[in-house]
């Protein structure tokens, strides 16, 4: 008897108010595309999460709530087990989303007109939380070496020498899929200590790593770095819960933690979502097996996609990710002007991948494909994309 893989199950998410499937017209001008863009998965959540949320829904009263010790225990135990990082529960604060936390951190840790460093191409909201808070983006572009992104530390040092005191680190990196090694992070950390730079570490992809690559929490590197780092993260990417709008931040810096909590209170963001604790505790205490299955499945999708592209459209070149479920693909070999790539993708390939140019000027001519979908969807999207690509090359 052949066992069916639960990740092969097709969910019809159309007409469910899914941002990914039902709101793409705004961004792509069509709603009839295969949606492999925003980083949300087309897989059912772990069964334990579904059960816990259903039970909570059945209460029928959705009043104000708070996080209990069980919640903090579930987080600390997860980091100790999966990442070897020992966290004091007092270091943890809560915020609706990671982007909320990063935005507040930028506000609290810099002044208008200050430079904030990001390593580009990178997750688009990093630009907004800097610029819309009246700060200046200081780009430290990543370089492609050995078919992967690497940090340009000599260039970074010049930004620090020119006065940048705050940096947003994306670890693992979106869209490049790098799982920074401990050695790379130590070298970065040494520069931050030398120049007195504070780090906002966005580690939302920390649990999504492929075999042979281990995530190192930046703040776990040393007590000094821990004191000048605020880690912004969540269980929502790992377990496909982003609509529950719950995230947390971790900092050993007591004063920063107090200021952060106060700011959240002033903004009225200090009460958790009614379903948050139920979902997180179930995910962290009973979702481990599901996560291992997910990683295995996504790795299968990744191998499939890389092989498929190399066989059917070798003119486009993916960077093989070490983590995340995102594939960053260099499409410049198709000979389509970068300004016309979106129109071609929508009208000819009929797929919605994220446009590389949204991640910074370095992303022009690139696309980002979301591989967290049943194989049948990934395969169909690749087929459409490669067929259109072959026609474009004629
Ligand atoms: C690097 C990174 N940070 C943050 C987020 C979004 O997190 P949230 O919805 O909690 O703001 C994403 C989502 O794709 C992401 O890739």
Axis-axis angle for helices 254-266, 98-109 (nearest 10)? 110
Is the pLDDT at 325 greater than 60, yes or no?
Answer: yes
- On whether residue 108 sits in a domain, the answer given is yes
- Do 145 and 243 fall within a single domain? yes
Closest CA to 237 of 199, 291, 192, 175: 291
* Predicted local distance difference test score (pLDDT) of residue 228: 97
- Do 139 and 224 fall within a single domain? yes
- Do 256 and 161 fall within a single domain? yes
Mean pLDDT of 322-336: 97
Pocket test for ligand 1, best of 39, 101, 244 (most atoms within 8 A of CB): 39
Percent of the chain having pLDDT more than 90? 98
**Token digits for 250?**
């971790």
- On whether residue 52 sits in a domain, the answer given is no
What residues flank ligand 1, with Cβ below 6 Å? Answer: 39, 97-99, 123, 170, 174, 202, 204, 234, 236, 242, 247
Strand-strand pairing, 198-202 and 166-170: parallel
- Do 30 and 155 fall within a single domain? no
Question: Phi/psi of residue 232, each to 5°?
Answer: -110, 120
Q: Are 10 and 16 in contact (CB under 8 A)?
A: no
- On whether residue 54 sits in a domain, the answer given is no
Full domain range(s) for residue 141: 63-286
Kindly give the distance from the C-alpha atom of residue 98 to the centroid of ligand 1, in angstroms, as a whole number. Answer: 6
Between residues 1 and 318, the one the model is more confident about: 318
Question: Phi/psi of residue 211, each to 5°?
Answer: -50, 140
* 96 Cα nearest atom in ligand 1: 10
* Predicted local distance difference test score (pLDDT) of residue 189: 98
Pocket test for ligand 1, best of 123, 149, 171, 236 (most atoms within 8 A of CB): 123
Q: Are 142 and 120 in contact (CB under 8 A)?
A: yes
**b/e string for 1-33 if b means 16 or more Cβ within 10 A?**
eeeeeebeeeeeeeeeebbbbeebeebbeeeeb
* 101 Cα nearest atom in ligand 1: 11
Pocket test for ligand 1, best of 174, 280, 321 (most atoms within 8 A of CB): 174
Mean pLDDT of 55-68: 96
- Do 275 and 167 fall within a single domain? yes
- Do 179 and 264 fall within a single domain? yes
Is the pLDDT at 2 greater than 80, yes or no?
Answer: no
- On whether residue 295 sits in a domain, the answer given is yes
- Do 73 and 220 fall within a single domain? yes
User: Is the CA virtual torsion 213, 41, 233, 200 positive or negative?
Assistant: positive
Type and span of the H or E element at 175: none
Of 230, 265, 286, the domain-final residue: 286
- Do 72 and 198 fall within a single domain? yes
- On whether residue 355 sits in a domain, the answer given is yes
* 97 Cα nearest atom in ligand 1: 10
Closest CA to 330 of 347, 313, 346, 350: 313
* 324 Cα nearest atom in ligand 1: 16
* Predicted local distance difference test score (pLDDT) of residue 3: 73
Helices within 10-46 (DSSP H only): 19-22, 24-28
What CATH number is associated with residue 209?
3.40.640.10
Q: State how far Cα 123 lies from the chain centre.
A: 8
Kindly give the distance from the C-alpha atom of residue 214 to the centroid of ligand 1, in angstroms, as a whole number. Answer: 20
* Predicted local distance difference test score (pLDDT) of residue 203: 98
* Predicted local distance difference test score (pLDDT) of residue 95: 98
Kindly give the distance from the C-alpha atom of residue 50 to the centroid of ligand 1, in angstroms, as a whole number. Answer: 22
Q: What is the pLDDT of residues 131-177, one digit of tens each?
A: 999 999 999 999 999 999 999 999 999 999 999 999 999 999 999 99
DSSP state of 235: S
Of 286, 303, 328, the domain-final residue: 286
What CATH number is associated with residue 37?
3.90.1150.10
Q: Are 378 and 308 in contact (CB under 8 A)?
A: no
* Predicted local distance difference test score (pLDDT) of residue 1: 57
- Classify 135 as helix, strand or coil: coil
Is the pLDDT at 60 greater than 80, yes or no?
Answer: yes
- On whether residue 210 sits in a domain, the answer given is yes
Of 227, 260, 286, the domain-final residue: 286
Burial of residue 245 (CB within 10 Å: 0-12, 13-18, 19+) is middle
- On whether residue 349 sits in a domain, the answer given is yes
- Do 208 and 274 fall within a single domain? yes
Question: Phi/psi of residue 250, each to 5°?
Answer: -135, 125
Q: In angstroms, rounded to a whole number, what is the distance separating the alpha carbons of residues 249 and 102?
A: 9
- Do 183 and 301 fall within a single domain? no
* C-alpha radius of gyration, the chain, whole number: 21
* Predicted local distance difference test score (pLDDT) of residue 4: 87
Q: Are 177 and 319 in contact (CB under 8 A)?
A: yes
Kindly give the distance from the C-alpha atom of residue 204 to the centroid of ligand 1, in angstroms, as a whole number. Answer: 6
Number of domains in the chain: 2
Computed over every residue of the chain, the mean pLDDT equals: 97
- Do 174 and 218 fall within a single domain? yes
- Do 384 and 263 fall within a single domain? no
- On whether residue 51 sits in a domain, the answer given is no
Closest CA to 245 of 193, 280, 216: 280
């Amino acid at each position: 008897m052949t066992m069916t893989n639960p990740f092969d199950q097709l969910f019809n998410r159309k007409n469910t108010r899914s941002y990914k499937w039902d709101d793409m017209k705004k961004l792509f001008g069509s709603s009839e595309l295969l949606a492999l863009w925003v980083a949300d998965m087309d897989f059912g959540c772990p069964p334990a999460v579904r059960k816990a949320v259903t039970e909570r829904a059945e209460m029928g009263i959705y009043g104000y709530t708070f996080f209990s010790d069980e919640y903090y225990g579930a987080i600390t135990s997860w980091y100790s087990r999966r990442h070897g990082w020992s966290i004091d529960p007092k270091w943890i604060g809560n915020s609706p989303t990671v982007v909320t936390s990063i935005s507040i951190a930028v506000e609290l840790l810099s002044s208008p007109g200050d430079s904030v460093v990001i390593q580009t191409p990178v997750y688009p909201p990093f630009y907004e939380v800097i610029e819309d808070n009246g700060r200046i983006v200081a780009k430290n572009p990543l370089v492609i070496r050995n078919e992967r992104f690497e940090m340009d530390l000599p260039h970074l040092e010049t930004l620090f020498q020119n006065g940048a005191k705050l940096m947003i680190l994306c670890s693992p990196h979106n869209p490049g899929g790098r799982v920074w090694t401990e050695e790379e992070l130590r070298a970065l950390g040494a520069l931050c200590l030398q120049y007195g730079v504070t780090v906002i570490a966005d580690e939302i992809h920390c649990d999504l790593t492929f075999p042979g690559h281990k995530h190192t929490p930046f703040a776990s590197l040393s007590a000094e770095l821990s004191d000048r780092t605020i880690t912004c993260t969540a269980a929502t990417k790992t377990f496909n819960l982003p609509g529950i709008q719950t995230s947390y931040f971790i900092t050993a810096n007591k004063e920063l933690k107090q200021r952060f909590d106060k700011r959240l209170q002033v903004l009225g963001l200090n009460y958790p979502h009614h379903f948050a604790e139920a979902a997180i505790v179930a995910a962290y205490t009973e979702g481990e097996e599901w996560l291992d299955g997910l990683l295995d499945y996504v790795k299968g999708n990744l191998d499939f996609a890389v092989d498929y592209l190399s066989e059917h459209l070798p003119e486009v070149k993916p960077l093989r990710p070490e983590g995340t479920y995102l594939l960053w693909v260099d499409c410049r070999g198709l000979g389509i002007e970068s300004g016309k790539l979106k129109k071609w993708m929508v009208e000819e390939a009929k797929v919605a991948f994220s446009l590389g140019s949204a991640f910074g000027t370095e992303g022009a001519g690139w696309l980002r494909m979301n591989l967290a979908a049943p194989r049948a969807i990934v395969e169909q999207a690749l087929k459409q994309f490669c067929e259109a690509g072959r026609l474009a090359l004629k």
